[in-house]
């Protein structure tokens, strides 16, 4: 099948790569200048383990070709995927007109995450433009850092369609990824969109709830890790997303929860639970700074802090809304020198920091720690789990470890001659 995928997003890259890998002829259309530059050089827009190799293979095979907004497409598309960025409404309308002029196109698959009702508006725009293509909603459920795996081996696929229109075609496209058991859940367009946002809302709520519990546990002298295990053992709750920490980040989760908050605000005078969830999360992003401040009794000016991990989650190069950003700003405001190590996100962090403040970006984690008064673990990359404790202690000026993800054993760290502070740990 001839497929066109539109968008400068990770979802677009994953979709285009996966469709090409399963034998389809795919044209991936982007619009941003930096996207064009990368693709013209044969480089992916987003780099993730597992995705890079397959993407390069599909480009080399010729099944996947890169195209750019305004260019003539190599062939009329039989199916179109829309995986656009927020704010691409003008481009969306342009694409609708192109689809309407293509008699070959029978299916439009909207993966763009937006407010509930967005897919219906797209459907109506298609009809007004004279297109007979079926429109379905296939909300983006990929998990950044493991995007290709979560697309090709999904736990769940939300498919929104009206009266089954387009369902058979989508099932055929997704058949290679839906073999072990049928994970496609068919519902209306609005239900699919709302389900996607609701999933983000409950995950964010669990994280913020556990952060509240962790902060309370410290005042009660209770170790939150024991509480977490007990909660997870209850089948009504389960173990996922019960780990307290220094807040969540990423453009997607924040954006989805904000969309729910906006919808609630339009229909209710009360701020609602999700508004509190976001407030809790923003406050939690500074929890390591508060522990640092308390340890030194406010005398932090001129201190040096090492941060391990700047990406908003392991496995990604992105720092969108990452907890490290707010933490760095709090340290800068108090005249603290900051050194950062991250295995992948330093270029993105450097771009963010330009014009804001001074950062020492280190290619080696122990270089960042040298002469530091505290080490703050912010992103739990695997390379940080088993540090050389003797080397760490010898390199630090003050032996303070602030564990923002509770990945270390407090007693063991203290046994190495270091001071340990975690999130809700005693």
pLDDT at 401: 98
Mean pLDDT for 355-378 is 97
Q: How many CB atoms lie within 10 A of CB 21?
A: 19
What's the rounded Cα separation, in Å, for the pair 367 and 74?
50
Q: Where are the domains of the chain?
A: 2-187, 195-282, 285-421
- Cα atoms found within 13 Å of the Cα of residue 155, Cβ hemisphere only: 4
Pick 30 or 271 by higher pLDDT.
Answer: 30
What's the rounded Cα separation, in Å, for the pair 77 and 205?
41
In 3D space, the residue among 351, 340, 354, 353 whose CA is nearest the CA of residue 309 turns out to be 340
Q: What is the per-residue DSSP string for 278-293? A: HHHHHHHTTHHHHHHH
Mean pLDDT for 64-79 is 93
pLDDT at 87: 82
Share of the chain above pLDDT 70, in %: 99
Does residue 252 register a pLDDT over 80?
no
pLDDT at 306: 98
What's the rounded Cα separation, in Å, for the pair 95 and 363?
43
Does residue 268 register a pLDDT over 80?
no
pTM of the model: 0.89
**pLDDT class for 271, splitting at 50, 70, 90?**
low
Does residue 143 register a pLDDT over 80?
yes
- Cα atoms found within 13 Å of the Cα of residue 423, Cβ hemisphere only: 28
**pLDDT class for 258, splitting at 50, 70, 90?**
confident
Residue 107 φ/ψ, nearest 5 degrees:
-145, 130
CB-based contact 319:352 (threshold 8 Å): yes
- The CATH code that applies to domain 195-282 is 1.10.1040.10
Residue 411 φ/ψ, nearest 5 degrees:
-65, -40
Q: What is the per-residue DSSP string for 402-415? A: EETT--S-HHHHHH
Q: CA separation (Å) from 29 to 68, 74, 78?
A: 5, 11, 15
Q: How many CB atoms lie within 10 A of CB 155?
A: 8
Mean pLDDT for 260-264 is 81
Does residue 345 register a pLDDT over 90?
yes
CB-based contact 368:299 (threshold 8 Å): no
Alpha helices in 85-233 (DSSP H): 89-100, 118-128, 147-152, 167-174, 189-220, 224-232
2-187 against 195-282: fold identical: no
What's the rounded Cα separation, in Å, for the pair 136 and 110?
6
93-117 b/e with 16+ CB inside 10 Å = b? eebbebbbebeebbbbbbbbbbebe
Place domain 2-187 in its CATH homologous superfamily: NAD(P)-binding Rossmann-like Domain (3.40.50.720)
Helix, strand and coil percent figures for the chain, each rounded to 5:
45, 15, 40
pLDDT at 330: 97
Residue 104 CA from chain centroid, whole number: 35
CATH 3.40.50.720 fits 285-421, yes or no: yes
Mean pLDDT for 200-229 is 95
Alpha helices in 268-339 (DSSP H): 273-284, 287-295, 323-333
Mean pLDDT for 402-419 is 97
339: helix, strand or coil: strand
**What letter does residue 384 receive in the DSSP assignment?**
G
Does residue 245 register a pLDDT over 70?
yes
What's the rounded Cα separation, in Å, for the pair 67 and 79?
16
pLDDT at 269: 59
Is residue 40 exposed (0-12), middle (13-18) or buried (19+ Cβ within 10 Å)? exposed
Beta carbons within 8 Å of 93's beta carbon, 6+ residues apart: 125
């Amino acid at each position: 099948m001839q497929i066109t995928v539109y968008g400068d997003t990770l979802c677009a890259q994953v979709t285009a790569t996966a469709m090409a890998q399963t034998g389809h002829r795919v044209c991936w259309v982007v619009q941003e200048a930096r996207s064009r530059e990368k693709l013209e050089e044969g480089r992916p827009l987003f780099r993730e383990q597992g995705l890079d190799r397959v993407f390069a293979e599909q480009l080399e095979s010729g099944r996947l070709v890169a195209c750019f907004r305004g260019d003539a497409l190599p062939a009329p598309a039989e199916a179109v995927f829309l995986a656009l960025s927020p704010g691409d409404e003008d481009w969306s309308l342009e694409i609708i007109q192109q689809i309407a002029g293509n008699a070959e196109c029978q299916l439009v698959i909207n993966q763009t995450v937006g407010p509930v009702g967005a897919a219906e508006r797209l459907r109506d725009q298609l009809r007004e433009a004279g297109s007979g293509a079926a429109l379905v909603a296939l909300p983006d459920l990929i998990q950044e850092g493991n995007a290709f795996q979560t697309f090709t081996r999904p736990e769940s696929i939300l498919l929104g369609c009206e009266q089954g229109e387009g369902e058979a075609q989508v099932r055929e496209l997704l058949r290679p990824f839906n073999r072990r058991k049928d994970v496609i859940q068919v519902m209306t367009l609005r239900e699919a969109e709302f389900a996607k946002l609701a999933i983000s809302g409950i995950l964010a709520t669990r994280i913020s709830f556990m952060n509240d519990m962790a902060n309370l546990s410290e005042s009660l002298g209770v170790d939150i890790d024991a509480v977490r295990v007990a909660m997870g053992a209850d089948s009504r709750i389960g173990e996922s997303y019960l780990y307290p920490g220094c807040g969540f980040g990423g453009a997607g989760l924040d954006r989805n929860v904000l969309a729910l908050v906006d919808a609630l605000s339009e229909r209710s005078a009360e701020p609602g639970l999700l508004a509190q969830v976001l407030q809790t999360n923003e406050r939690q992003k500074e929890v390591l700074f508060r522990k640092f401040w308390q340890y030194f009794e406010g005398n932090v000016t001129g201190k040096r802090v090492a941060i391990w991990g700047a990406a908003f989650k392991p496995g990604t190069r992105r720092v969108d809304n990452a907890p490290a950003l707010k933490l760095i700003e709090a340290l800068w405001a108090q005249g603290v020198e900051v050194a950062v190590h991250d295995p992948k996100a330093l270029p993105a962090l450097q771009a963010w920091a330009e014009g804001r403040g001074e950062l020492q970006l280190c290619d080696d984690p122990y270089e960042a720690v040298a002469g530091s008064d505290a080490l703050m673990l912010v992103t739990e990359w695997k390379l940080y789990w088993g540090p050389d404790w003797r080397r760490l202690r010898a390199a630090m000026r003050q032996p303070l470890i602030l564990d923002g993800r509770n990945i270390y054993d407090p007693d063991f760290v203290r046994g190495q001659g270091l001071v340990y502070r975690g999130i809700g740990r005693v």
